[in-house]
Chains A and B, each alone.
Chain A
Amino acid sequence: MTLHIDISEENLAGILAKAFRNRSFLAGFVITALVAAVALISFFWTPFDVTRLIIADKTQGPSLTHWFGTDHFGRDILSMIMVGARNSIAVALVAVGIGMGVGVPLGAFAAARGGIVDEAVMRLNDLVFAFPALLSAIMITAIFGPGALNAIIAIGIFNIPVFARVARAGALAIWPREFILAARAAGKGRTLITLEHVLPNIVTLLLVQGTIQFALGILAEAGLSYVGLGTQPPMPSWGRMLFDAQTRMVAAPWMALFPGMAIAVTVLGLNLLGDGIADILDPRSRRQR
């Protein structure tokens, strides 16, 4: 049932060879690397300065100088998308970190203890799942006010039960295995077994879920910024750019087109990457192929 592999059974070169034959992985990897590169480059160089408003250049269509056109303040949209990439990636990455950091130990602990501890963790999961990310963001914003940090917290909290569930399901499949029995016979405690034997065996599972949550985080950050609860101007963000574009759809459709495509391409890349990793490392899908 689970996506599980002992890396040791297979050499790394074999996995890499398989990775390069997997179209989904390759496409996802190239797109994701490209987006990451763009975000990194934006630290050193963008075609135009995104903090300078040149009203004379406002709402120009795509041209050779401004490939993606300019916004209502005359800012270069391509440059804003580059800086926005940085912001999106940072928010989604930290949110995944929060989800993994809290969720995985919770899930692994629930699986190791079982019984009432397991039940309590799962019910806590139900509770968090009842609050869609946007709702918890709304509540957090109602208390602390809007901002990128609160968006990270809201998305991160929503990620916790997701990772707890995946880690628990993965760990439950590992616990009945013989090498665990051997470790127990050797006198190792549950915590040590979890750390030394269970976690290494569910890493790929977590990696796949990580890319999915990363993609969802990008979408969620864009949504929150779009409604004004996430990243605040003047920091460029993809969601905020779409908000600015909304009222200018007729006069400047490019203002909406390009930031949306940036989001879609980034999410697509991450999803393809996740699918690819799952394909490569899942012994079952290998058999069916």
Chain B
Amino acid sequence: MTAYLLKRLAIALATLALASMVVFAVLEIIPGDPARLMLGLNASAEQVELLRNQMGLDAPLAARYLRWAGGLLSLDFGRSYTYSVPVIDLVRERVVVSLPLALIALALSTVIAIPVGLFSASRRGRAGDTIAMGAAQLGVAVPNFWFALMLIYLFAVWLRLVPAGGFPGWSAGVWPALKSLLLPAVALALPQAAILARVTRSALIEVLHEDYIRTARAKGLPYRAVLWRHALRNAMIPVLTILGLQFAFLLAGTIIIENIFYLPGLGRLVFQAITQRDLIVVESVVMLLVAAVIAVNLLVDLSYAVVDPRLRSRQ
């Protein structure tokens, strides 16, 4: 168990380190000198040289990487070229929109998908299963940003139940803020829920063939109890794997969805930064999202051990 955990942790850290090198290297390739960019076209060569020196841009590659990576560890991402504030301040401002959005979407997707998967698996091949899985097929095929547009049309333009976009900020109260995150979260969650429901169903069907399910039924346990206590728990490993992968998709999805709903989250920040060529912001946000994906996948690996006692006892 400890060996398993340590190995996963080591892999996650190594992946993170490699990813940071990739991001750093990408920024090195990009043409254009940040110092010249900051000073504008009229700056003299001496001025640029001075700023390069101040910014540490003339240090050797390895030294610059270590300084940058060290900064990341202490949450010092550097300063935004366009906003002239520390990147961490921008991130802190935006993450309170993106993170709740991704988490609400993840929760919604799980809450919808697991019961649908259970329903379908226990009625395999019957009308209910066919209808639910048909709907899931459709859900997988629909692009979330198109779904978002349709939701806006239906609920914001037509029924006028929720705002079509924008974010009042958490200071405006929890309910108004949540209300403006509701449609984006649904738009993100439903396609993911469709995938998750399909995975839950097939994992359950696999498990329901096992001998211990028959034993549990034979000793007189009601079908519901068998399904929830025995089958679902054993079907959790593939479900958890997909949940972990989906977090990455959700994070990437928030980037697009935030642009549709005009939410001031990390996704909008990244896009503005790209158009303004504010590369330090781009690299910081990309690095942050990559770290989040790696962390969630590590959590999923660890949760296998919680769900599956066999992994715990294995040496």
Contacts and interface: CB of A to CB of B under 8 A. Distances in A.
B138 A139 contact: no
B228 interface: no
B137 A226 contact: no
Contacts of B256: 134, 223, 226-227
A130 B15 contact: yes
A142 B152 CA distance: 30
Given A253-B153, A267-B140, A135 B30 contact: no
B251 to A, nearest CB: 7
B259 A227 contact: yes
A136 B165 CA distance: 27
Given A134-B252, A138-B270, A264 B141 contact: yes
Interface stretch (B56-64, B77-85, B111-119, B288-296): B288-296
A142 B274 contact: yes
Given A126-B15, A143-B30, A267-B140, A138 B146 contact: no
B15 A123 contact: yes
Interface residues of A, number: 39
A268 to B, nearest CB: 4
A135 B259 contact: no
B22 interface: yes
Contact of B286 (A139, A245, A257, A265): A139
B290 to A, nearest CB: 5
B259 A126 contact: no
A263 B143 contact: yes
A127 B18 contact: yes
A246 interface: yes
A132 B149 contact: no
Interface in B118-153: 137-138, 140-143, 145-147, 149-150, 152-153
B23 A139 contact: yes
Interface string A227-262: 100000000000000100110011001001101100
A281 interface: no
B11 interface: yes
A89 interface: no
Given A223-B145, A260-B149, A271-B140, A246 B260 contact: yes
B157 interface: yes
B255 A249 contact: no
**What 3 A-B pairs come out closest when comparing CB atoms?**
A260-B146, A132-B252, A268-B141
Interface of A: 123, 126-127, 129-135, 138-139, 141-143, 215, 219, 222-223, 226-227, 242, 245-246, 249-250, 253, 256-257, 259-260, 263-265, 267-268, 271-272, 288
Given A132-B289, A139-B282, A249-B153, 13 more contacts: A130-B15, A131-B293, A138-B286, A142-B26, A215-B141, A219-B143, A227-B271, A242-B145, A246-B260, A256-B146, A263-B143, A264-B141, A265-B141
19 contacts: A129-B297, A130-B16, A130-B297, A132-B293, A135-B286, A135-B289, A135-B290, A138-B255, A142-B26, A142-B277, A222-B143, A223-B143, A226-B145, A249-B149, A256-B149, A256-B153, A263-B146, A288-B205, A288-B209
